[in-house]
Amino acid sequence: MIRKGTVADLQDVYDMIVDLAKYEKAEEEVEITLEQLKQDGFGLHPVYEFFIAESESETVGMALFYFRYSTWKGKALYLEDLVVREKHRGEGYGKALLNAIVEEAHKTKCEQVRWQVLDWNEGAINFYKKIGAKLDDEWINCTLNAQQIKAFNF
């Protein structure tokens, strides 16, 4: 079963974020707190939404997304994370979550669905190729972290 996430799902979402960071060997980079997830997703100005995949009332996966805007294409849905718990991978939950994301993009009149995948994550890359996604090796990601933002010379 795939459904829109609620505030009651946030502990599971947080746990899956940490699991994903462990899988990507970057657990120390997780700075988000459960309270911040609650405020950012369910506060006065929510900035993200998510879908939950369930099996017999157990949370087995999630897809967290938000909307962005392309000056060339228009409204886009950005898939931040798609996570299926390890013991449930290969059971169709990833595809079901991606279906929910694409359906949401269609319903909300998005021109694109975009996301990133690490270049070493062959399982995910093969999954995305199988569904026909274009994998772009031309663009380079750029980031300023919180410390750099605070120290920026305005």
Instruction: Provide the H-helix boundaries in 24-73.
Output: 34-42
Query: What pLDDT score was predicted for residue 69?
Result: 97
Tell me how far apart the alpha carbons of residues 52 and 58 are, in angstroms, rounded to a whole number.
10
At 143 the pLDDT is 87
- pTM for this one? 0.91
Q: How many CB atoms lie within 10 A of CB 13?
A: 23
Residue 52 confidence (pLDDT): 98
As averages over each run of 10 residues, the pLDDT of the chain (154 residues) reads 98 97 94 97 98 95 98 96 94 96 97 93 90 88 87 88
pLDDT value at position 4? 98
The pLDDT assigned to 105 comes to 97
Complete domains list, the chain, with CATH? 2-151 (3.40.630.30)
**Exposure string for 56-91, b = 16+ CB within 10 A, e = fewer:** eeebbbbbbbbeeeeeeeeebbbbebbbbbeebeee
Asked about 93 being catalytic, the answer comes back as no
Backbone angles phi, psi at 75, to 5 degrees: -65, 135
- The pLDDT of residue 10 is 98
Do the bridges between strand 74-84 and strand 112-114 make them parallel or antiparallel, or are there none, so unpaired?
parallel
